[in-house]
Amino acid sequence: MVKTKIKDPVRVQKKQKQIFRGAMKVFRTKGFHAASIREIAKACRISLGSLYDYIETKEDILFLVHKEILDQIYRRVDESLTKYQDPRDQLTHVLAEIFRLSFQLKDEILFIYTETKSLEKKYLYEVLQRESEFVEAIEAMIRRGVNEGSFDSSNPAVLANVIALTGAIIPLRGWNILPHYGEKEVVDELITIFQKGLFVHKVPTTCDT
C-alpha cells in the first residue's frame, strides 16, 4: 500500500480517489513518464505540498491508478457473484459486467496495460496478486458449475484466464471493432460465445439487465 502522512483512512481514501481522477487526466494526454507531479497536483486541485501528504513518488500515483481501476472491475464482478446463486446466472452476469466495463473504462484499462511495466516491484506484486485472486474467483465459479452439471470444461483455470483477458478486448481491439459494432452487439456476442462453450444443453438468451 501507498504510505501516507495522514492517518484517517476515510480521508485518505477520498483524497486518493481525487488523485486518481486528476492523474488520469494528465496521463491520458501526456503519458506516465512525461507527466510531472506538479501537473498532477494541478489537475487534482490539490496543492503540491498537500499532495505529498498522500503519496511520496509519482510511482505511488501510478499504483493508485492501477488499484482504483482494478477495484472498480473486481467490485462489480464480486457483486454479481454474490447476487446470483445459479452458476449459469452467475456466469452470464459476471461476463456482462466485465465486458461492459471494457467499454466504460477502455482508456483506463489500456493505460494500465501499457504502464504496468513501469510499476515498482512491490506494487507490481500487489497488482499481479490482485489479478490472480480475480482469476481464481472466476475459476471457482466455473468449477462449481462443472461440479453441479451446469458447465462442461476440462480446464477451468485456462478458461478463467481467457475470460479475464477478453475483458480487455475493447481497450486493445476497439480500434477495429467500434467503427462497426455497438456495445450491446459486442457484449451479447461475447457472452454467447462463452455460454455455447460452457453450458451443458440449452443456451439461454444473453443478459439484458
What is the per-residue pLDDT across 181-201, written as a single tens digit (0 to 9) for each? 999 999 999 999 999 999 986
What whole-number distance in Å separates Cα of residue 77 and Cα of residue 89?
Answer: 13
3-class state of residue 151 by DSSP: strand
Answer yes or no: are the C-beta atoms of 161 and 97 closer than 8 Å: no
What whole-number distance in Å separates Cα of residue 139 and Cα of residue 110?
Answer: 24
* pLDDT of 147 higher than 70: yes
Q: Considering only CA atoms, which of 54, 45, 51 is closest in space to residue 12? A: 54
Q: Considering only CA atoms, which of 123, 98, 100 is closest in space to residue 3? A: 123
* pLDDT of 209 higher than 90: no
pLDDT in tens, 111-126: 999 999 999 999 999 9
Tell me the average pLDDT across 130-134.
94
Average pLDDT, the chain: 92
Q: How confident is the model at residue 54 (pLDDT cuts 50, 70, 90)?
A: very high
* pLDDT of 202 higher than 90: no
Answer yes or no: are the C-beta atoms of 19 and 39 closer than 8 Å: no
Q: What pTM was computed for the model? A: 0.85
Q: Helices in the chain by DSSP H: which ranges?
A: 9-34, 37-44, 48-51, 58-83, 87-104, 106-115, 121-147, 156-166, 169-177, 183-198
Q: How confident is the model at residue 134 (pLDDT cuts 50, 70, 90)?
A: very high
| pLDDT for residue 197 | 92
| pLDDT above 90 as % of the chain | 85
What is the widest separation between alpha-carbon atoms in the chain? 62
Give 189's Cβ-side CA count (13 Å radius). 9
